[in-house]
Amino acid sequence: MDATVKSHFISEQPKAPAKPLVLWRPTAKTGFVSWLTTVDHKKIGFLYGMFALFFFLVGGAEALLIRLQLMVPNNTVLTAAQYSTMFTMHGTTMIFLAVMPLGAAFFNFVMPLQIGARDVAFPRLNAFSLWTFVAGAIIVNIGWFLPDGAPNAGWFGYAPLTSRNYIPQHSVDFWVMGLQLLGVASIAAALNFIVTIINMRAPGMTMMRLPVFTWMTLITSFLIILSFPAITIALVELMMDRNFHTNFFEVSNGGMPILWQHLFWVFGHPEVYILILPAMGIVSEILPTFSRKPLFGYPIVVFSGAAIGFLGFAVWSHHMFTTGMGTVATAAFALATMAIAVPTGVKIFNWIGTIWGGHLQMRTPMMFALGFIWMFMIGGFSGIMHSAAPADAQQQDSYFVVAHFHYVLIGGSIFALLAGIHYWFPLIFGRKVSEFWGKLSFWVIFVGFNITFFPMHFLGLNGMPRRTFTYDGNMGWNSGNFIATIGALILGVGIAIYFAVMIYTYFKGEKVGRDPWDGRTLEWSLPNPPPEHNYAVIPTVHARDAFWYEKHHKEEIAKENAEHSKAEDEHGGIHMPHQSIYPLVASVGILIAAYATSGMDSNPEPGIHAKLATAIIGGVIMLVGVFLWSLEGADGYHLHLDKDGKPIEDSHAHH
């Protein structure tokens, strides 16, 4: 942890003029309080990453239990109820608590660096997003420790199974409330990224010079702000049904359960792209770096990303081909789904075009990135098979689908995220992972992954349905399941090696200097780990692959930077935002209120008054946090750098 803390601050923070005590601004740069009150996008990104990796391991453990239960027919490792909980939590955890926040970690850490900014547009809002995400994660998982149990109605929560009639326990309420908090956190973070990318670009960093990862961050953020409202409202409707006896999905009063599916997938399909577009962005950074040539067809890669995002809102019903939508609707969604394969294919062509004619350096990130292309291709092709609606009627909710989306989400998203960790590890921690161990973990993961999920295609075609806790031995599914479980164990070993290597490298890895990969984008121009203010001088961008250009036009850039540095000093120096405790306070208030309300229903029950009081206390804490947050204002202070680039003290400056 202290690698990022050890930024180049050596001086005491300037003292603020006298203020009411409640508007105290924390200034600690190290220690526990500094992490709780940080507004530094790098620290926040790091925290996102740590939470995400923790939940990645939790979700992985859940998956291993599922695979153990299915290893042999008629197995009894888990009961039916435990199995339901396990696959519900595996899906929810992996999507909302592992892959999304891991993407957010990179958005936070890397994106501002890539556009030459000193922070995101709203640093405190960024902290609020992080802590609200943590609150949501706690609520989703809190059922493990309570008699009601963890959520057990599937990550998709189809009505009316989620109604009080069928699941009276609060397990579903925790799921509903947790997902709403995660939605708030995601939307707040996405709004921040949108403003940051559009408004905080360094001079000369035009939109068509943005690194592709930043582009994908932008598109993903738009998908988040436009798709999360649909699920949030659906969850509100479900919550109203469960707690206030409304009729949104109440069959006996004319409610239509199919409505839930539409609202869920209007969110759910863009969500798939929310998971995969950041991965595509990461791969589009790694391939050019290790091929030592620019991305092939940059504009087309960007536009195809945007097209995927746009079309992603028009294909949701392909998750519902078996709901009896009628011929015309089915045909329309089938064709739209096929159409989305075109921009996806274009990206693959361009990645191959990127490595074509390059000098490929087979480093670990490159291995993962190439693995991504292979696995994503297989996942994409089985996706095309699903777009043929009549064929999908056989595949829907079978293990064929399980195979398909794990190829997209593990072979796709996770491979790219693991590649990204390797790629940016030297920048974040100043150390580099051993190539031998990195490649070993890659091969074990790659092999284990394929052994796990390739047989599932066959299981699905042989009629094995999803979400089944047991199966009989006479269905022809025994070998496939056995192989898949062996594969899952190999995959688990691979992940264990990966994590062990990361931890080892963090403490003992080889130290590297600036720009270890001969990078192309601006973040590599920084020392590692980057100082809190990121750039001593805001860079001026002259070309795509801005840092590559800098390295080949050193004199021009040095002259320019000197001028800009002088100009900025005359304007008062580097402006930095103050830390703040109130985003955390607001999130803690939300956590308390959410916990109390998700344990309530409108029927009088023992303890209802205590719960109500707790909810009100939580709400008040949140409101106080928000009010003081706005009262303390977006203050900051100024930094000057000495000739070695170290910050020297400056008097407090009002924003």
Q: Work out which of 294, 504, 506, 650 binds other proteins, going by CB under 8 A.
A: 294
Rounded Cα distance between 130 and 144, Å, is 22
Task: Decide whether 49 or 92 has the Cβ nearer to other proteins.
Answer: 92
Name which of 53 and 431 has its Cβ closer to other proteins.
Answer: 431
CB nearer to other proteins: pick between 141 and 304 = 304
Q: Interface residues for other proteins in 522-581 (CB under 8 A)?
A: 538, 544, 548, 571-572, 575
To the nearest whole angstrom, how small is the minimum distance from the Cβ of residue 634 to other proteins? 9
Distance of closest approach, residue 32 Cβ to other proteins, in angstroms: 30
DSSP letter (8 states) at residue 465: B
Which helix (H) or strand (E) segment holds residue 191: the answer is helix 171-199
Q: Which is nearer to other proteins, 335 or 562 (CB)?
A: 335
> Residue 465: beta bridge partners?
398
Binder among 57, 138, 440, 608 for other proteins (CB under 8 A) = 440
Per-residue x/- marks for other proteins, 234-253, CB under 8 A?
x-xx--x---xxxxx--x-x
Q: Which of residues 354-413 bind other proteins (CB under 8 A)?
A: 355-363, 370, 373-374, 377-378, 381-382, 384-385, 387-398
Which helix (H) or strand (E) covers residue 558, if one does? helix 554-570
Q: Does 307 bind other proteins (CB under 8 A)?
A: no
Structure tokens at 366: 């490159």
By CB under 8 A, residue 259 contacts other proteins: yes
Among 6, 19, 553, 655, binds other proteins (CB under 8 A): 655
Q: Using alpha carbons only, how large is the chain's radius of gyration in Å? A: 25
Show the site string, 454-493: x = touches other proteins by CB under 8 A, - = not: -x--x--xxxxxxxxxxxxxxxxxxxx-xx--xx--x---
Q: How far is the CB of 610 from other proteins (least distance, A)?
A: 25
Q: How far is the CB of 392 from other proteins (least distance, A)?
A: 8
Asked whether 411 and 378 are in contact (CB, 8 A), the reply is yes
What's the distance, CA 421 to chain centroid? 13
Return the amino acid letter for 216: M
Give the pairing of strands 574-577 and 510-511: unpaired
**Contact with other proteins (CB under 8 A) among 53, 189, 263, 594:** 263
User: Whole-angstrom Cα distance, residue 247 to residue 240?
Assistant: 8
Q: Which of 197, 153, 66, 9 is nearest to 492 (CA)?
A: 66
Binding flags for other proteins, 182-221, as an x/- string (CB under 8 A): -----x---xx-xx--xxxx-x-x----------------
604: CB partners within 8 A, 6+ apart: none
CA distance 286 to 292: 10
Distance, CA of 409 to CA of 63 (rounded, Å): 14
The 3-class SS string of 230-299 reads HHHHHHHHHHHHHHHCCCCCCHHHCCCHHHHHHHHHHHHHHHHHHHHHHHHHHHHHHHHHHHCCCCCCHH
Q: Chain-centre distance of CA 84, in angstroms? A: 25
Q: Of residues 5, 54, 68, 297, which one binds other proteins by CB under 8 A?
A: 297
User: Using CB under 8 A, which of the segments 3-11, 47-55, 103-111, 159-167 binds other proteins?
Assistant: 159-167
Q: Per rule CB under 8 A, is residue 50 in the interface with other proteins?
A: no
Residue closer to other proteins, measured from CB, 263 or 409: 263
Question: Which residue from 52, 100, 104, 230 is in contact with other proteins, where contact means CB under 8 A?
Answer: 230
Residues numbered 72 to 111 that lie near other proteins (CB under 8 A) are 73-76, 79-81, 83-84
Q: Which is nearer to other proteins, 61 or 240 (CB)?
A: 240
**Spatial distance between the Cα atoms of 285 and 287, rounded to a whole number of angstroms:** 6
Stretch that binds other proteins, among 56-64, 433-441, 592-600, 606-614 (CB under 8 A): 433-441
CB-nearer residue toward other proteins: 53 or 63: 63
Using CB under 8 A, which of 166, 508, 566, 620 touches other proteins?
A: 166
**Residue from 3, 23, 28, 447 binding other proteins (CB under 8 A):** 447
Q: Which of 23, 57, 256, 496 binds other proteins (CB under 8 A)?
A: 256
Q: In this structure, are residues 608 and 600 in contact, taking their beta carbons and an 8 Å threshold?
A: yes
Q: Which is nearer to other proteins, 572 or 607 (CB)?
A: 572
Site for other proteins in 607-636 (CB under 8 A): 627, 633, 636
Peptide bond into 160 cis (omega under 30): yes
CB of 565 to other proteins, least distance (A): 14
Q: What H or E segment, with its residue span, contains residue 636?
A: strand 636-641
Stretch that binds other proteins, among 136-144, 515-523, 611-619, 640-648 (CB under 8 A): 515-523
CA–CA distances in Å: residue 326 to residues 332, 387, 396, 397: 10, 16, 17, 19
Q: Considering beta carbons, is residue 64 or 258 the nearer one to other proteins?
A: 258
Exactly one of 233, 306, 600, 617 binds other proteins (CB under 8 A); that residue is 233
HSE-up of residue 576 (Cα within 13 Å, Cβ side): 31
Nearer CB in complex with other proteins: 362/562 = 362
Q: Which is nearer to other proteins, 24 or 443 (CB)?
A: 443
Residues 120-139 that bind other proteins (CB under 8 A): 121-122
97: left (phi over 0), alpha (psi -120 to 50) or beta: alpha
Give whichever of 2 and 76 is closer to other proteins, judged by the CB atom: 76
Complex with other proteins: residue 436 or 607, whichever CB lies closer = 436
Site for other proteins in 319-358 (CB under 8 A): 322-324, 326-327, 330-331, 334-335, 338-339, 341-342, 345-346, 348-350, 352-353, 355-358
Smallest separation (angstroms) from other proteins to the CB of 30: 26
Size of the site for other proteins (CB under 8 A): 172
Nearest approach, Cβ of residue 420 and other proteins (Å): 19
Q: Is the peptide bond before 529 cis (omega within 30 degrees of 0)?
A: yes
- Calpha distance 480→455 (Å, rounded): 5
**Residues near 309 by beta carbon (within 8 Å), at least 6 away in sequence:** 219, 220, 222, 223, 270, 273, 277
CB of 324 to other proteins, least distance (A): 4
Q: Do 423 and 286 meet the contact criterion of CB atoms below 8 Å apart?
A: yes
For residues 291 and 534, give the distance between their C-alpha atoms in angstroms, rounded to a whole number: 27
Nearer residue to other proteins within complex by CB, 135 or 295: 295
> What is the 3-state secondary structure of 406-454?
HHHHHHHHHHHHHHHHHHHHHHHHCEECCHHHHHHHHHHHHHHHHHHHH
